[in-house]
Amino acid sequence: MKYKWKINDLEEYIKLLKLKLYNLLGIKDINKIDTDTLINILNNINDEETSYNVKILLADLNQAHILLGEICPYDFLEYYLYGDLDTSDNYNRKSLDIIKEHVSILDKYPFAKDDLLKARRILKYNTGLPLDTLFSMKQCNLSNDDILELTHDFYKQFDSYFFKKFMGVFKYRKDIVSFKNYDGGGTLGTCYELLCASTSYIQILRDHNIGDVTTTIHEFMHATSFSINPNHLYDPNKDFLSEFDTTFINLLATDYISQNLKTEQIYANSFNALVDHYNSINSAYILDLIKDEDITSNKDLSSFIKSHEANLEIILHYIKMDLPFYLFIYSLPFIFAVELYNIYKTDKDKAIYLLKKIINANCNSKEEYYQMMLDFGLIPGRHLNTYAVDINKKVKSKIKLNIDGVKMT
């Protein structure tokens, strides 16, 4: 990792990327080309290497623009990059049309379907509150430096190998981390990995509760894993579990923060995550049921969904926040992460060994990667119940949290 580019240098970086992109596409000035022609050029790239390089350049360009607080002029090309993951046009359409388009979500990765459904059953019995209810957390007065110090101390006690790799990123924190204030109901963190610059940037939009700390620890794990193996994020056979390592770190960071700041408030986040995962998997499950039904009106749709103790609003909410994306990028990794977390609690060395193996793995197919996780003894659902029961106890008996009744809209 060179960390040549600071956040302040990004405008220069964007110029460089544009030049590279024009060279690859054989065009002189992208502004003189209309969208259709551009997409046509992209679709006619025949060789795999050029296609891959164009995708990386476009992803980097997009992320660099977002970091500068701008809209990337090429953001319409996202659909070229992510194919069916773009659901941005879902907002103004009829419920039934939207639902029908998404009924095959669970078949996207058939090898994961049974494991997701098993997790759904376990979570169903362990959330136990109205599913549009979320806990809120108290505000706390941590400075940005306090957050960075806690992040540093967490990685220091975590493991010597990962601490060394983490420090390789953390030492550039002044150049690559930006904290901003955000009062939108929950911390928002993003790690932008710019492959062409071999650099990660971390942006934390602070909500001023302890969730700011776990989010920062999470984003640093993305950057650390990227410094160990950039392919961990960019290998198309691994991307559906790309939040596995970070979700695992979240589980450990939650315990660490709770012990060090002497508060169990942080478990409110863990409970909210359980509700969130249940709702995303359950929405996919209901869509899967609808697949075999002959539903022709919105009224029939509503009553079918109600008969399965589900809620159309919640399903639409998850579709609007990119259901296939959310399901396979967050919920599936979460189910695996709980298993590694369980190993960590009884055999720390084994868990660290597996984590290294997983980050460094290069796989020939998604199935191969999935099977590797199973072969490592990470069996989805095996310890999910124990984990969920534990979080429930912490949230419901040990602490008195505010129930906000936040409606998902």
**What is the closest distance, in whole angstroms, from the C-beta atom of residue 337 to Zn ion in the complex?**
11
The amino acid present at 339, given as its one-letter code, is: E
**What is the closest distance, in whole angstroms, from the C-beta atom of residue 300 to Zn ion in the complex?**
38
**What is the closest distance, in whole angstroms, from the C-beta atom of residue 49 to Zn ion in the complex?**
28
Residue facing Zn ion at closest CB distance = 246
* Region of 206-214, 227-235, 239-247, 258-266 interacting with Zn ion (CB under 5 A): 239-247
* Region of 52-60, 245-253, 267-275, 318-326 interacting with Zn ion (CB under 5 A): 245-253
Residues 214 and 250: their CA atoms lie apart, in Å, by 6
Q: At what angle do helices 110-127 and 267-290 cross, to 10 degrees?
A: 130
Cβ-based nearer residue to Zn ion, 75 or 239: 239
* Region of 238-246, 296-304, 349-357, 401-409 interacting with Zn ion (CB under 5 A): 238-246
**What is the closest distance, in whole angstroms, from the C-beta atom of residue 69 to Zn ion in the complex?**
20
63 counts as binding Zn ion under rule CB under 5 A: no
Cβ-based nearer residue to Zn ion, 245 or 339: 245
* Region of 13-21, 91-99, 235-243, 321-329 interacting with Zn ion (CB under 5 A): 235-243
| Count of alpha carbons within 13 angstroms of residue 164, beta-carbon side | 3
**What is the closest distance, in whole angstroms, from the C-beta atom of residue 405 to Zn ion in the complex?**
27
**What is the closest distance, in whole angstroms, from the C-beta atom of residue 190 to Zn ion in the complex?**
8
Cβ-based nearer residue to Zn ion, 248 or 256: 248
246 counts as binding Zn ion under rule CB under 5 A: yes
Query: How many residues bind to Zn ion according to rule CB under 5 A?
Result: 2
Cβ-based nearer residue to Zn ion, 243 or 288: 243
Residues 104 and 284: their CA atoms lie apart, in Å, by 8
* Region of 118-126, 192-200, 237-245, 297-305 interacting with Zn ion (CB under 5 A): 237-245
**What is the closest distance, in whole angstroms, from the C-beta atom of residue 99 to Zn ion in the complex?**
28
DSSP state of 397: I
* Region of 22-30, 48-56, 148-156, 240-248 interacting with Zn ion (CB under 5 A): 240-248
What is the SS3 assignment for the chain?
CCCCCCHHHHHHHHHHHHHHHHHHHCCCCHHHCCHHHHHHHHHCCCCHHHHHHHHHHHHHHHHHHHHCCCCCCCHHHHHHHHHHHCCHHHCCCCHHHHHHHCCCHHHCCHHHHHHHHHHHHHHHHHHCCCCCCCEECCCCCCCHHHHHHHHHHHHHHHCHHHHHHHHHHHCCHHHHEEEEECCCCCCEEEEEEECCCCEEEEEEEECCCCHHHHHHHHHHHHHHHHHHCCHHHHCCCCHHHCCHHHHHHHHHHHHHHHHHCCCCCCHHHHHHHHHHHHHHHHHHHHHHHHCCCCCCCHHHHHHHHHHCCCCHHHHHHHHHCCHHHHHHHHHHHHHHHHHHHHHHHHCHHHHHHHHHHHHHCCCCCHHHHHHHHHHCCCCCCCCHHHHHHHHHHHHHHHCCCEECCCCCC
Cβ-based nearer residue to Zn ion, 193 or 243: 243
215 counts as binding Zn ion under rule CB under 5 A: no
**What is the closest distance, in whole angstroms, from the C-beta atom of residue 32 to Zn ion in the complex?**
37
**What is the closest distance, in whole angstroms, from the C-beta atom of residue 242 to Zn ion in the complex?**
8
**What is the closest distance, in whole angstroms, from the C-beta atom of residue 375 to Zn ion in the complex?**
25
Cβ-based nearer residue to Zn ion, 204 or 312: 204
Enter the tokens of residue 273.
Answer: 């995550």
Q: Which residues bind Zn ion (CB under 5 A)?
A: 243, 246
